Amino acid sequence: MRRFIWAVSIAFGVLFVGCKTSHIGEKMKISGEQSESEKRVFSDCLKNSPDYTSYSAKTSFVITTSAGNLKSKATVRIIKDKILQISVQPFLGIEMFRVRLTNDSVWILDKMGKRYVAESIAAYKSKLPVDLSLSTIQALFLGRPFLPGKDRLDISDYRNFSWMKEKSDWSFSIKDLSRFSCLFELDELARLRETRALDISGQMQITWSYSKFTNQGEFWFPSEMEVRTSGIGNKNLTLKMENISPEWNKTFNVDFSVSSQYRKVPIRDLLNMFLK
């Protein structure tokens, strides 16, 4: 089970300290005169990204590594532009592990090992090829497109993407990124089906897929997500989030107190423990 704890740490920690993302796929580019079609499709896509204040969802994590499969119940909580917190409860709803991301820090709590990580994101900013912000991570968990450095997209942002179409399916990638590329693929209802990023060498890749959409009233939301990483420390990892049951705009507790009996460890030790 401790292996599971560190595996989950990798799945989300690498988004801050290990994500390097280059050119993606070759599809038919759309000419300039079709910008109205791009604008319409982007508008339909944004309809599945309504404004919100908070998000909470119970789910099941299934992690697959070379060592096998591990499964656990989990709760994901988001306060828009402030906090993303994940609680892992492998035994009878008892929390054994927690991770919190804020705009300026990463916290990881291992209750089994009585240790924790607390590090500033600023220490890694210069090492990343992109300004990977909390709002970007939140967008991934909510199945939404994003732009580095912008917390909220509007219809005029369609111009900041290069648009492609293959048969009836649209996709778009972020323009003017010299060190990485990020591609968003839509389904026939303009719902985000996949976000895919590659590093400049093409060896490291992170793919975030969305499926089994459920009607949330005015928009659709995926009840399943799958995160696949490759080329990170010679390890391939797959994380599935199943049976996602979201609640929107609720008030909830996001306490992250740490007992004085816990030992602080650097995040690099955590990464090395899993990737060795």
CATH number of the domain residue 235 falls in: 2.50.20.10
Question: Is 32 contained in some domain?
Answer: yes
Q: What percent of the chain is predicted at pLDDT more than 90?
A: 43
- Identify which has the larger pLDDT, 182 or 33: 182
Strand 263-264 to strand 115-120: parallel, antiparallel, or no bridges (unpaired)?
parallel
Indicate the average pLDDT of the chain: 82
Confidence (pLDDT) at 225: 97
Q: What pLDDT digit, counting tens, does each position of 144-164 carry?
A: 999 988 888 999 999 999 999
Domain count, the chain: 1
Residue 275 lies in a domain: no
Beta-ladder partners of 242: 60
Note the pLDDT of residue 24.
43
Is 99 a domain residue?
yes
Taking Cα atoms as reference points, which of 119, 118, 7, 136 lies closest to residue 62?
7
Residue 149 included in any domain: yes
Would you place residue 206 in the very low, low, confident or very high pLDDT band (cuts 50, 70, 90)?
confident
**Is 244 among the domain residues?**
yes
Q: What local confidence, expressed as pLDDT, does residue 90 receive?
A: 81
Residue 188 has what pLDDT?
A: 93
User: Token digits for 203?
Assistant: 């060896």
15 or 138: whose pLDDT is higher?
A: 138
Residues 82 and 50: their CA atoms lie apart, in Å, by 17
Q: Is residue 251 part of a domain?
A: yes
Tell me the whole-structure pTM to 2 decimals.
Answer: 0.84
Which domain does 86 fall in, by range? 2-268
**Digit-coded pLDDT (tens) for 242-260:** 999 999 999 988 878 888 8
Residue 58 lies in a domain: yes
- DSSP bridge pairs for 87: 75, 98
Q: Using CA atoms, how far apart are residues 216 and 43, in angstroms rounded to an integer?
A: 18
Q: What is the mean pLDDT of residues 36-54?
A: 93
Average the pLDDT over 113-131 and give the result: 73
Asked whether residue 42 is domain-assigned, the answer is yes
58-99 confidence digits (pLDDT tens): 999 998 877 778 889 999 999 999 999 999 988 777 888 899
What is the structure's pLDDT at 63? Answer: 85
- Give the pLDDT of residue 271: 60
* Rounded average pLDDT over 44-59: 93
Contacts 24+ apart (CB under 8 A), 186-190: 186/41, 186/45, 189/44, 189/220, 190/41, 190/44, 190/45, 190/47, 190/48
pLDDT tier at 267, thresholds 50, 70, 90: confident
